[in-house]
Amino acid sequence: RMVEYYRGILMACDSLKAQGISTDVKAWNVPIDANVQQTLADNNAKDCDIIFGPLYTKQVKSMGDFCRRNNIKLVIPFSISGNDVASNDHIMQVYQSPQLQNELAVNAFVERFKGCHAVIVDCNDTTSRKGMFTSALRKRMEAAGIGYSITNLKSSEAMFAKAFDASKQNVVVLNTGRSPELNVTLAKLNGLKVTAPAMRISLFGYTEWLMYTKVYLEYYHRYDTYIPTSFYYNPLASRTANLERSYRRWFKSDMRQALPRFAITGYDHAQFFIRGLHKYGGKFTGTSQQSTYTPLQTPLKFKFVQGGGMQNSAFMLIHYKTNHTMESISY
């Protein structure tokens, strides 16, 4: 995956070269058990304008301190468990913690579904980590005056139906992101629509649901589904298809079947940051006012962290409409 990410960066640099923006790329492979100080001792390191990395949390502090001493922007693209962005003004953290993603999803839900009735489905999944989201959502709905009911996936069809409000739009939220429970829920919703065809139902899902699109696309449209995410891979978009063809030509292989596509992530990141540095120099902070690039997959919109650096706050809802069209709602 990291090789693909790096390949995407190289492809972006090639594209930028055609637009008169030149780059000089230095690359280091730093394993998890390596001493990152040895990498930073390389004279090439201190000459960088921007560094993408590291991959591992244990290396962030050293790299962050190094970048602050040498006035280098440090872009942290991937999942880490630290919060150095809160104290280092040279860090631009793309990665969003689960807590931040939950907060953004709850905000979007409460804003979009005022006047609706929420139905939270307990899926009896002991492995689920979605309790943090549903618990925060319930508190916010109570504060915002949004009514909700709780039902269980094992409930009878009659009891399941009682959780819905015939006079309002119902927004169904599962407390798991897994496919098997989603499958059972869809079957129960199908049964409900047979007995109450006028019932208005929407689904509010999780980013994992994007992986199930090929299987559930028809259902996503049928139930007016909203999926919260920080990225969206659209293989039908012409710019995306063109990049995938170029990747195949460059590297004699297809991109890995992963979400997000790591090569496209690297391409978007390099385009965004290098364009920004070219136009604004050291004053580039990545805010929406400084945006110079329309992403293929991975939008970036940075906000200041008080006393620290910049945190990516880009977030969107992918909406599968009942008329079989889609929209991306950005926040």
Q: Are 91 and 305 in contact (CB under 8 A)?
A: no
**Predicted confidence (pLDDT) at residue 219 exceeds the cutoff of 90:** yes
Q: Any idea where the domains of the chain sit in the sequence?
A: 2-96+234-315, 99-229
Q: Do domains 2-96+234-315 and 99-229 have the same CATH topology?
A: yes
Across the chain, mean pLDDT equals 96
**Predicted confidence (pLDDT) at residue 5 exceeds the cutoff of 90:** yes
**Residue 266: its pLDDT value, please?**
98
CATH class of the domain whose range is 2-96+234-315? alpha beta
CATH topology (fold) of 99-229: Rossmann fold (3.40.50)
pLDDT digits (tens, 9 = 90+) for 174-208: 999 999 999 999 999 999 999 999 999 999 999 99
Residues 6+ apart with CB under 8 A from 40: 46, 62, 63, 66
DSSP state string for 70-105:
TT-EEEE-S--S--GGGT-TTEEE----HHHHHHHH
**Predicted confidence (pLDDT) at residue 292 exceeds the cutoff of 90:** no
**Mean pLDDT along residues 75-95:** 95
Exposure b/e, 85-97, CB count within 10 A at least 16 = b: beebbbbbbbebe
Rounded CA gap, 92 and 249, in Å?
Answer: 32
CA distances to 73, 108, 110 from 103, in Å: 27, 9, 11
Q: For the chain, what percent of residues have pLDDT higher than 90?
A: 98
**Residue 183: its pLDDT value, please?**
97
Helix axis angle for 2-17 and 262-280, nearest 10°, is 40
Q: Which helix (H) or strand (E) holds 318?
A: strand 316-320
Q: What is the 3-state secondary structure (H, E, C) of 112-168?
A: HCCCCEEEEEECCCCCCCCHHHHHHHHHHHHHHCCEEEEEECCCCHHHHHHCCCCCC
106 pLDDT tier (thresholds 50, 70, 90): very high
The Cα diameter of the chain in Å comes to 72
Radius of gyration, alpha carbons of the chain: 22
pLDDT digits (tens, 9 = 90+) for 238-269: 999 999 999 999 999 999 999 999 999 999 99
Look at residue 177 and give its three-state secondary structure: coil
Residue whose pair of structure tokens reads 């009891």 in the numeric block:
159
pTM of the predicted model as reported, rounded to 2 decimal places: 0.92
**Mean pLDDT along residues 17-36:** 95
As beta bridge partners, residue 181 has: none
Residues 6+ apart with CB under 8 A from 74: 50, 51, 53, 63, 64, 67, 88, 90, 91, 92
pLDDT digits (tens, 9 = 90+) for 114-160: 999 999 999 999 999 999 999 999 999 999 999 999 999 999 999 99
